[in-house]
Structure 1
Amino acid sequence: MAVKGTISNRLVHEALLGYQPLGLAPDALLAREGLSAQGLDDPDGRVGVGYFERLWRRLARRYDDEFFGMAARPLRAGSFAFLCRACMAQPTLAEALPHGLEFLRLLDEDFRAELIRRDELAEIVLHDPDEPRRAFAYFTFWLILHGVACWLAGRRIPILAVDVRCAAPAYLDDYRVMFSENLRFARPANRIIFAADALDAPIRRDEKDLQRFLAQAPGNILVKYQDHDSLATHIKAHLRGLPPAQWPDGERLAATFHVSPSTLRRRLAALGQPYQALKDGVRRDLAIGWLAEADLPFAAIAERLGFADISSFYKAFRKWTGTNPGRYRTLILSQPDRAGRPGRRLTGG
């Protein structure tokens, strides 16, 4: 399980794979950067975010590449800072993201992406017509882009689902925490889906804000906008293991976690995550996953989630995501390509 402030050893090794064509063994590469390889041979082990941040920064400086050697051309040192500047001059996120995507495309055709708004939903589609890349490459791209978007908006932008073209890797826990429970692999295209109202967020960032952001990057985009808290994570995992009809009330949940009901309420209040909000989040994730199953009727989904009727499910889903289940299903079952899509394209990759 992902733990607050840590990164799986598996992702450290994924980050180093791009340097193997240079004939550099992981231990030698880490030693050259003044980083210890001790403990990294344990696949279930974890390192602090600070370790991963130093690794990313030092490799970017040495090899003049902020993308771990995974693109056809290096993403030159300073690209991330210019990406932020290209975006922050715009009035809203809807105008900033196309500028950022166009900047990345100019750096390297590997980063040919577009933002598409479809009523209450939005998606960013990354086009790569060649053989699929490693999952780590796709998720690193989304991590950078999502981190910048959250900083520009001044809040975490929940990702409803992620599609990638490659097969599912053996390890997914950190990706689920960083992005969404709803990860789909071997899909026709790479995309992230989120509520379109985030695009209306005004951008009020200046050079001082940017310098503070860059001074803390990439550690801030690894943890700042993530719900890593162990209590919330454990409660949500507990709920996922039960049918919603069997979810405990507050008193039984407190007994499960060996605390008093008042202590549980106080700790969740301190996090700004009351129990009802956690239940709604798990229901939302379950609903989004089931809506991707084309043959599963809405009534069956409503029943699985513990709603008395379809109308209650529709009302709740709109509250969670900003759209209705039918529109979400239409989007999630669509197959993005270069033409013939509904929706308003905000940038043409």
Structure 2
Amino acid sequence: MHPIYQSPDFVETNGVELAVYRHGPDHKATDKPAIFFLHGFPEIAYSWRAQMEALGDAGYPVFAPDQRGYGRSDKPEGVENYTMAHLIGDLEGLLDHYGIEQVVFVGHDWGAIILWSLPLYINDRILGLGGLNVAHVAHYRDDPIKLFRGKFGPDMYIVRFQEEGACEPILEADVRETVRFFMRAPGGKRDADRKPSKQTESLDMLGMLQKGEEHWGGNLLLGEDEMQIYIDAFEAGGYTAPLHWYRNMGNNWLAEKKHLIDGVLPVIEKPSLMITADMDRACPPYLAKGMEERVTPLTMVHLENCGHWSQQQMPDAVNGAIIEWLEEHFK
């Protein structure tokens, strides 16, 4: 196991106990900003191990929580406990616990969805925002689940995730296989030559999972020891709580409405970084088009030959981009 991941703090915040992993100097002993890393689905704080090591060794105080519902953190029952307000309230509580006034947040996947919502809730606690793979998009014109169903059909993974109890048996039937399915890097020409299927065109990830590894494409991203960290986490905690994050997308969309100004979200005025990856099929780079109109000042970095799990597939490139951006804006 990676040494950074061995001994977390266990912090009571916002009604839950969260496991928080740390590296680097004490935030009070350096002028460099503290960095909070926010993982996505289906990940855990461990996904940031390479970034924590690189930035901590470079003198940045770094923190990565297993967010509520994941890893060694609490998993309260009930979909109502996983709204955006709850997820961001947890982070605000962690800042208060550690006595940190302002931080730089870096998020991937669902962590990036949280990231781009932070200014609506705790704008005064933000120094900067770094998003990986998931862009900051305009407020949806309608409930996002309705839109996804209309565009991709009922088998699209986010649509299927909405029914509690329907997807968990598929994901939990063989957690090892589920982790092996998700934690893959694109396979280059082999995948490019693969004929589209009903599952790939509709983003039916559950359907693809059930078809078996010979249909998945790509290559395993992690070694066996790394894979086992994920397997242990999801065998112990299951997938219900992580799926509850998706089951609040409609509620979060409604809550976002109260922040609209003349029908649009306010511009984020914090130094921001957006890292896209050319082979990310779930979150393609074109979704970041026009972000400069919604976020300022914005630095864009594009990774070639990289899939969705960018910080694990290309850790050196991601670390370099983050450090360069930090040095430019937070000397």
Same fold (TM over 0.5): no
TM-score, scaled to structure 1:
0.24
Structure with bigger strand share is 2
TM-score, scaled to structure 2:
0.25
Structure with bigger helix share is 1
